[in-house]
Chain A
Amino acid sequence: MQSKSADLTFLRRTNAELIAILAVCAIFFVVPVLLNNDYLLNKVARYLVLGILAMSLSLSWGYAGILNLGQAMSFGLGSYAMAMTLKLKTVPVHTGPQGLPDFMVWNNVTQLPWFWWPFESQAFAILAGIAIPAAVAAALGWFMFRGRVTGVYVAIITLAAMVVLNLVIIDQQQYTGGFNGITDLAQLELFGIAFDAYGRSTYYLVTICMTVALLVAYAFTRTKAGLIIQAIRDHESRVRYFGYDVGAYQIAAFALSAAIAGLAGMIYTIVMEFASPTFLGVQLSLSVVVWCAVGGRQSLLGALLGAILVAGVQGALSESATFLETWTLVMGGLFVLIVLFLPKGLAGLVASLWALIRQRPLRSVRGVHRIEQTETGA
């Protein structure tokens, strides 16, 4: 009988996380009502997207124990997918006579490269923005996890892979826009709505995507697969002896994390109105790790809010160079402290305090129970 009520409390606790997620999303939905400034709205949208990115990393790092130092690669792939289709929409307004994007014309390219063709279709691009990062991640994951590469080496390989892609994009500037990225984009048009980066439509697009992404990630963590992936994080080799194909689970989590990051990348292009190699850069990738660590890598909501908070403060301080530099210094220090002493980040801190508060009134009752138990030799 006691276990039934234990189960109920368990369910209640599970739902607590779901409620928190829905509450946070609801709050962000309301923001445009309170904030009538288009410029600021765009900024908030930007931070929300970075929040989704950080949340995607928490799925891989916090839940599966896979530290992806190249999370930005999936993000960048998504953003380029969207940028490519939006760029092609500007043909022939911004471009040369052959129906080529302007930067290709400037680089004396005569024909649209094959990998650009499918992006004529917006639908394809939207699908590709999620599917391509997932596929690349699955391939990289297959390469690593089938070979039982773990921990540190995974971190290094993911970072190296991203740097390679970054270098290739910069190098092949005639096809990719190189250093400058892909700029001067058309607006995305879906269901008759044109998404202006500084309009409410884009903001709501972002919040909808954020809600969907959070719920998908949350649902994953509540499945048995989500549980197994945490067991893998805890003690990878032990899981094998129960009959689970650990590599397959790692690939799945890794690919899901990448898919969400890809989605974030796509809406980032809409919010920023361009795509650039910095979206696949070391700087961004490592920033995501910091946000995730600070917010709490084992908490989807923690990572999301951590990113919004840190990126937000950074944005607010960007007006003054000295403030920004000092802030970065402080962030670096905070990050080191968290790595050393607070592995579960601020979310973990909040959870510990909460548990501490809730324990106090019950302590005397518990104490009595404990004495009774030891007397019966349990």
Chain B
Amino acid sequence: MDQLIQQFLTGLSIGSILLLVAMGLSIIYGAMGIINLAHGEFVMLGAYAAWFLQVQFGMGLLISLVPIFLLVAAFGWLIERFVLSFLNNRPLDTILATWGVGIMLQQAVRLTAGGELRYVKMPEALSNSTAILGVQISLYRVFLLVASLVLFAATWLLMNRTTVGMKLRAIIQDRPVAASFGVNARRIYGLTFAYGAGLAGLAGALVSPLKSVSPEMGTGYVIDAFMVVVLGGVQSLIGTVASAFILGELSGVIAFLQNDTVAKAIVLLAIVVLIRFRPQGMFATRVRA
């Protein structure tokens, strides 16, 4: 019984990390039809920002979350403005361009901060473990779970209960009509992409204490994030949550039964089959018009 609970909690933990990382990608893809291969680098930037703020200014992780969000969001906005705005209706080229941007970001970080592993300290208050249902679990992981759900709620509210969110949904539905009502699509796209990037940065900062920080850390995350978004369906934030936790549990179980590598391979295969047989509700070509 204990093992089952342990398994379940591990899966939740993996799932919450997946959700954190995938949420930004889901928004960008779901709302804008942009497949952002630089997403992993946004995560990486957030992690480096956390390290930098900690090392330079002694800022604790929790305090630095807001500036990190703004910083990475600003990056995102710039990329949208100077790269993506040229790529209307060219989904293949968007993949390539964003991947190129990702490479540039990786290299820039390597050249400035160096390629060695960096470490971010976990907040003191959260570095113990606690018992849930009789099983020990790190308090920080619980915090991550809570944080992921809070961010999800905030994002959902933003999308569905604010004017900006409404404008975005209008553009997705019918851009010319929305424009004729005075909605500035360019600005909304810029803000949306920035928001998605900011979320990714937050994710990076939040997961940074768990593992080391390196320029390449983003690549693994972007593949994971993709799997979540493909499975969960586009334009469905709830779908993203559901699939994040499903995949989290699934990889946890498979990794337990086999190993990490096989787990990843099996999930990837499943995604391939899924894309082939159920592309609708998943990547339905919502290309930005």
Contact = CB atoms under 8 A, between A and B. Distances in A.
Chains A, B in direct contact (C-beta < 8 Å): yes
Interface in A135-157: 143-144, 147, 149, 151-153, 155-157
Interface string A151-171: 111011100110110011011
A212 interface: no
Given A149-B275, A149-B276, A336 B91 contact: no
Given A144-B276, A157-B275, A164 B265 contact: yes
Interface string A270-296: 000000000000100010011001000
B42 to A, nearest CB: 15
Given A67-B92, A152-B35, A328-B107, A340 B272 contact: no
A265 B86 CA distance: 36
Contact of A329 (B93, B108, B264, B272): B108
Given A163-B223, A329-B111, A340 B87 contact: yes
Given A147-B276, A171-B265, A333 B219 contact: no
Nearest to A340: B86
Contacts of B100: 290, 332-333, 335-336, 339
Size range of the chain B interface in the assembly: 35 or more
B180 interface: no
A167 B264 contact: yes
A155 B226 CA distance: 13
A339 B276 contact: no
A181 interface: no
Nearest to B37: A286
A19 to B, nearest CB: 32
Interface string A253-273: 000000000000000000000
A355 to B, nearest CB: 23
A286 B93 contact: no
B38 to A, nearest CB: 10
Interface residues of A, number: 38
A341 B85 CA distance: 12
Contacts, number: 98
Contacts of A170: 261
A211 to B, nearest CB: 30
A326 interface: yes
A149 B279 contact: yes
A322 interface: yes
A336 B104 contact: yes
Contact of B107 (A156, A168, A325): A325
Nearest to B87: A340
B11 to A, nearest CB: 20
A291 B279 CA distance: 30
Interface of B: 35, 83, 86-87, 91-93, 95-97, 99-101, 103-104, 107-108, 110-111, 219, 223, 226, 230, 259, 261-262, 264-265, 268-269, 271-272, 275-277, 279, 283, 285
Pairs of residues from A and B, 6 with the lowest C-beta to C-beta distance, nearest first: A332-B103, A329-B107, A332-B104, A336-B100, A335-B100, A167-B265
Given A155-B95, A156-B230, A339-B97, 7 more contacts: A155-B92, A156-B283, A160-B269, A164-B269, A322-B111, A326-B107, A339-B100
